[in-house]
A and B are shown apart, each in its own frame.
Chain A
Amino acid sequence: MKDDGKKKRIGVFVCHCGVNIAGVVDVEKVAELLKDYPGVEFSTDYVYMCSEPGQQLVLDKIKEDKLDSVIIAACSPTLHEKTFQSAAELAGLNPHQVEIANIREQDSWVHPDRDKATVKAVKIVKSMVEKAIQNEDLEPIKVGVFKKALVIGGGVTGLQAAMDIADQGYEVIVVEKEPSVGGKMIQLSETFPTLDCSQCILTPKMVEVTRHPKIKLMTYSEVESISGFVGNFKVRIKKKPRFVDEDKCKLCNECADVCPQIVPDEYNMGLSFRKAIYMPFPQAVPGTYTLDMESCLGTLPIRCGKCKDVCDAQAIDYDMKEEIIEEEVGAVVVATGYDLYDMKALGEYGGENYEDVLNGLEFERILSASGPTGGKVQRPSDGKVPKNVVFIQCAGSRDPENHNSYCSKICCMYTAKHAMLYKHRVHDGNAIVFYIDVRTGGKNFDEFYQRATDDESILYLRGKVSKIFKEGNKMIVWGVDTLTGQKVEVEADMVVLAMAMTKADGVPELMKKLKISIDGNGWLAEAHPKLRPVESLNQGFYLAGAALGPKDIPEAVAQASAAAAKVGALFAKDELMHAPTIVPVIEELCSGCGICVSMCPYGARTLNAVRKVIEVNEVLCEGCGACAAACPAGAAQQLNQSDSQIFSMVKAILRG
Chain B
Amino acid sequence: MGKPKFAIYWAASCGGCEIAFLDIREKILDVDRAVDLVFCPCLMDTKYEDVEKMADGEIDVCLFNGAIRNEENLHIAQLLRRKSKVLVAYGSCASEGCIPGLGNLTDDEGICRYSFEESPSTVNPEKVHPQKSTSIEAGELTLPGMFKYVRTLEQVVDIDYKMPGCPPVAAQIWAVIQTILSGDLPPKGSVIGVSPKTVCEECDRSKDEKRIKEFLRPHEIGEVDPDICLLEQGLVCNGPGTQAGCGALCPQVNMGCRGCYGPAEGIKDLGGKLAGAIASVIEADDPEEIQRISDQIVDPVGTFYRFSLPGSILGRKI
Contacts and interface: CB of A to CB of B under 8 A. Distances in A.
A607 B276 contact: no
B225 interface: no
A632 B201 contact: no
B6 to A, nearest CB: 33
A361 B210 CA distance: 45
B73 interface: no
A629 B266 contact: no
Interface in A586-609: 586, 588-595, 597-599, 607, 609
A594 B266 CA distance: 17
B209 A594 contact: yes
Interface stretch (B97-105, B164-172, B237-245): B237-245
Contacts of B210: 593-595, 597-598
Contact of A632 (B196, B208, B229, B241): B241
Contact of B265 (A589, A598, A637): A589
Contact of A634 (B229, B267, B280): B267
Contacts of B231: 593
Interface string B203-218: 0001111110000000
Nearest to B282: A598
Given A598-B281, A599-B280, A626-B280, A632 B206 contact: no
Contacts of B239: 593
Nearest to A605: B209
Given A592-B200, A629-B276, A607 B264 contact: no
Nearest to B200: A591
Contacts of B208: 594, 597, 607
Nearest to B210: A598
A631 interface: yes
Nearest to B211: A598
Contact of A631 (B196, B211, B244, B277): B277
A633 interface: yes
A198 to B, nearest CB: 38
Given A590-B197, A594-B208, A626-B280, A632 B268 contact: no
B280 A593 contact: no
B274 interface: yes
Nearest to B264: A633
Interface in A168-213: none
A633 B266 contact: yes
Contacts of A612: 200-201, 207
A37 B224 CA distance: 57
Contacts of A609: 206-207
A297 B279 CA distance: 51
Contacts of A292: none
Contacts of B277: 595, 630-632
B13 to A, nearest CB: 26
Interface of A is mostly: loop
A621 interface: no
Q: What range describes how many residues of B lie at the interface?
A: 20 to 34
A318 B211 CA distance: 41
A365 B197 CA distance: 67
Nearest to B244: A591
A634 B281 contact: no
A591 B201 contact: yes
A185 B35 CA distance: 91
Given A607-B207, A630-B281, A633-B197, A591 B265 contact: no
Interface residues of A, number: 26
A594 B205 CA distance: 12
B268 A647 contact: yes
A301 B192 CA distance: 79
Contact of A595 (B197, B201, B265, B281): B281
A349 to B, nearest CB: 31
A643 interface: yes
Contacts of B276: 629-630, 632
Contacts of A647: 268
Contacts of B240: 591, 593, 595, 632-633
A590 B207 CA distance: 13
A311 B276 CA distance: 64
A414 to B, nearest CB: 35
Contacts of B266: 586, 589, 633-635, 637, 643
B241 A633 contact: yes
B198 interface: yes
A635 B211 CA distance: 20
A600 to B, nearest CB: 9
Interface in B240-270: 240-241, 244, 264-268, 270
Contacts of B148: none
A632 B267 contact: yes
Contacts of B209: 594, 597-598, 607
B316 interface: no
Interface string A621-656: 000001001111111010000010001000000000
Contact of A643 (B206, B244, B267): B267
A595 B264 contact: no
A332 B244 CA distance: 45
A167 B210 CA distance: 45
Nearest to B274: A632
B5 interface: no
B265 to A, nearest CB: 6
Contacts of A598: 209-211, 280-281
A588 B264 CA distance: 11
Contacts of B211: 598
Contacts of A643: 266-268
Contacts of A629: 276, 280
Contacts of A586: 266
A183 to B, nearest CB: 29
A340 B280 CA distance: 36
A586 B266 CA distance: 9
A588 B196 contact: yes
A64 B86 CA distance: 51
Contacts of A632: 198, 240-241, 264, 267, 270, 273-274, 276-277
Interface in A98-118: none
Contacts of A635: 266
Contact of B267 (A593, A594, A597, A633): A633
B206 A599 contact: no
A435 to B, nearest CB: 37
A607 B210 CA distance: 11
A258 B241 CA distance: 69
B285 to A, nearest CB: 9
Contacts of A597: 208-210
B210 to A, nearest CB: 5
12 contacts: A588-B197, A589-B197, A589-B265, A589-B266, A591-B244, A593-B207, A597-B209, A597-B210, A630-B276, A633-B273, A634-B264, A634-B265
Given A593-B240, A597-B210, A633-B241, 12 more contacts: A591-B197, A591-B201, A591-B240, A591-B244, A593-B231, A595-B280, A598-B281, A607-B207, A632-B241, A632-B273, A634-B273, A643-B267
Q: Which are the 5 A-B pairs with shortest beta-carbon distances?
A: A634-B266, A632-B241, A593-B240, A591-B200, A630-B280
